[in-house]
Amino acid sequence: MAVETSVTCAVFGLGKLGASFAAVLGAAGLPVVGVDVDSRVVDAINRGEAPIQEPGLQDAMTRAGDRLRATTNAAEAVHSADLSFVIVPTPSDESGRFVNAYVARALDGIGQALATTDRYHVVSITSTVMPGAMDTELAPTLIGASGRAMGANLGFCYNPTFIALGSVIQNLTRPDLVLIGESDSRAGDLVEGVHRRIFETDPAVRHMNWANAEIAKIAINTFVTTKISFANMLGELCERTPGADVAAVTEAVGDDHRIGHAYLRGATAYGGPCFPRDNVALARAASDVGVEATLAEATDRVNRRQADRLAHIVERDCPPGGTVAILGLAYKPQTNVLDESPALTLAARLIDGGHRVLGFDPMVGVDAVPELPAFEITRRIEDCVDAADAVVVTTPSPEFAALPELARSAGRNPVVIDCWRLFPEATPGVRVVHPGRGTDPKDQPRPAVSARS
Ligand SMILES: NC(=O)c1ccc[n+]([C@@H]2O[C@H](COP(=O)([O-])OP(=O)(O)OC[C@H]3O[C@@H](n4cnc5c(N)ncnc54)[C@H](O)[C@@H]3O)[C@@H](O)[C@H]2O)c1
């Protein structure tokens, strides 16, 4: 359905996801008022400056122009809007459940503003929440603060998005799926209409109840993490099987259309702000209702052992005291986000093991990891490579293509543990090791063969 041009959106939470979402809505021609409790973020948006690093965000903000503004005043935003999106943090607690405190606070502010008018308004939660949270916690909070009944002049939706940092704008405008858990179809249709304004493709749009959308959101990410851990488990198997290579195996496995190639690659552990948390949350949601989430738990276990696996490969070629350079510190290319980054877990493990560890990432500043003071982050890739006995490439950033040439000019002949297969094994000037590759059978000691066998 097409959204009327008069719809104004409020976006609560202008962080890694919310700033891009607000900018994309504005760029698509919708009036948007962003709300954040952090006045620095609000001021940046009002100056027309991207508050965070994300490819395409500045351009989207420029295209949004005067249609996008920001405020710290929740009531003012709600009074000028028809639809409020809530995209505030939902950190995980120790048990792996998402904590709703920030969402509840935002809903309280929105509800209090709604209590002073009776104009129809839809509130849509984009933040990731636990199954059951909309019904048992968030809807009562909104109803309590607004004094409204669900359905008459109030709609309430759960509308999570599927984005990866570094490609947020593209993921928002070219999604595979838009998931809308709705209190009623009028509310869900309004949310769909807003999304339709930003699509550049024709994705599936699924309307359902809150519980189904809550489970579907974390199920999708958990399925993807399962594929990653499955590929990494195959990598472990191939590493110990003479002649085997995980790249050849996963390429063949992914050719089966029931499986597919996406995320089926033996490389590093998954990290970032969503995959690890969503996987653990699904397991927690299942155990909360007495279901054994064996698959999700195994996926997490395989993921957690990847740092040790990689460290063992490093230790084989670079004994304690040696210098290891890690290229790729964020959890993926094109972002500076370090949450659950495989590189940081590896760095901590190697420092504990007595190595000097240097690191470089084109997106990450030298002071980004204060919690690991022995980890020396350098400004230039050369500063890392020039000193390294071993180099571990943990993300497939195009900037690392210069590594063999830099190593050659430094005259160090380091071992390069190339998790993403950026370099062929026979690259001059470096000794490339591909994790997930077993030794060549001709390098194996042959078992004694009896005359009869
Ligand atoms: N970042 C991702 O890759 C991603 C992907 C999918 C889903 N999500 C979900 O989206 C939500 C937001 O994630 P994020 O990474 O953008 O978080 P973030 O920490 O980058 O940004 C959140 C913003 O919300 C603001 N905020 C906090 N309380 C507020 C309030 N009461 N009113 C207004 N603003 C408030 C903060 O100041 C901050 O600017 C989380 O639930 C997360 O799980 C994130």
Q: For 428-436, what is the mean pLDDT?
A: 95
pLDDT in the model for residue 6: 77
Taking CB atoms and a 6 Å cutoff, what residues make up the pocket around ligand 1? Answer: 12-18, 35-38, 41, 87-90, 102, 105-106, 126-128, 161, 163, 165, 273-274
Q: For 146-150, what is the mean pLDDT?
A: 97
- The conformation of residue 395, written as its DSSP 8-state character, comes to S
Q: For 310-326, what is the mean pLDDT?
A: 93
Fold of 306-433: Rossmann fold (3.40.50)
pLDDT in the model for residue 451: 41
The answer to whether the 219-304 and 306-433 domains have the same CATH topology is yes
Q: Which of 148-152, 228-232, 266-270 has the lowest mean pLDDT?
A: 148-152
* DSSP secondary structure letters along 136-173: IIIHHHHHHHH-PPTTTSEEEEE------TTSHHHHHH
In words, the CATH class of domain 219-304 is alpha beta
pLDDT in the model for residue 320: 85
Residue 9 among the catalytic residues: no
pLDDT in the model for residue 442: 64
Q: Whose CA is nearest to atom 30 of ligand 1?
A: 106
| pLDDT score of 164 more than 80 | yes
Q: Residue 177 C-alpha to ligand 1 middle, in angstroms?
A: 21
- Cβ–Cβ < 8 Å for 34, 69: yes
Q: For 152-172, what is the mean pLDDT?
A: 96
Q: Residue 18 C-alpha to ligand 1 middle, in angstroms?
A: 7
Looking from the CA of residue 105, the nearest atom of ligand 1 is 31
Mean pLDDT of the chain: 95
pLDDT in the model for residue 439: 81
Q: Tokens in use for 240?
A: 């110990």
pLDDT in the model for residue 452: 43
Q: Tokens in use for 112?
A: 């209090």
How far, in Å, CA of 285 to CA of 292, rounded? Answer: 10
In words, the CATH class of domain 9-208 is alpha beta
Q: Check 9, 157, 274, 384 and give the catalytic one.
A: 274
> What are the boundaries of each domain within the chain?
9-208, 219-304, 306-433
**Predicted confidence (pLDDT) per residue in 64-88, tens digit:** 999 999 999 999 999 999 999 999 9
Q: Residue 128 C-alpha to ligand 1 middle, in angstroms?
A: 9
**Predicted confidence (pLDDT) per residue in 210-246, tens digit:** 999 999 999 999 999 999 999 999 999 999 999 999 9
Dihedral sign, Cα of residue 282, residue 285, residue 287, residue 289:
negative
Looking from the CA of residue 277, the nearest atom of ligand 1 is 43
pLDDT in the model for residue 5: 54
Q: Residue 192 C-alpha to ligand 1 middle, in angstroms?
A: 21
pLDDT in the model for residue 429: 87
- Name the pairing type of β-strands 356-360 and 376-377: parallel
| pLDDT score of 91 more than 80 | yes
**Predicted confidence (pLDDT) per residue in 341-374, tens digit:** 999 999 999 999 999 999 999 999 999 999 999 9
Looking from the CA of residue 15, the nearest atom of ligand 1 is 21
- Cβ–Cβ < 8 Å for 343, 394: yes
Q: Residue 13 C-alpha to ligand 1 middle, in angstroms?
A: 6
Choice from 11, 12, 17, 224 to test ligand 1 binding pocket (greatest atom count within 8 A of CB) = 17
pLDDT in the model for residue 441: 64
Choice from 53, 88, 171, 282 to test ligand 1 binding pocket (greatest atom count within 8 A of CB) = 88
Q: Tokens in use for 126?
A: 């984009």
| pLDDT score of 151 more than 70 | yes
| H or E, element range at 408 | helix 403-410
Q: For 142-171, what is the mean pLDDT?
A: 96
Q: For 385-389, what is the mean pLDDT?
A: 94
pLDDT in the model for residue 450: 45
299-302 contacts at long range (C-beta below 8 A, 24 or more positions apart): 299/222, 299/225, 299/226, 299/228, 299/229, 300/225, 300/229, 300/276, 302/229, 302/230, 302/232, 302/233
| pLDDT score of 257 more than 70 | yes
Choice from 12, 14, 16 to test ligand 1 binding pocket (greatest atom count within 8 A of CB) = 16
* Total-model pTM: 0.93
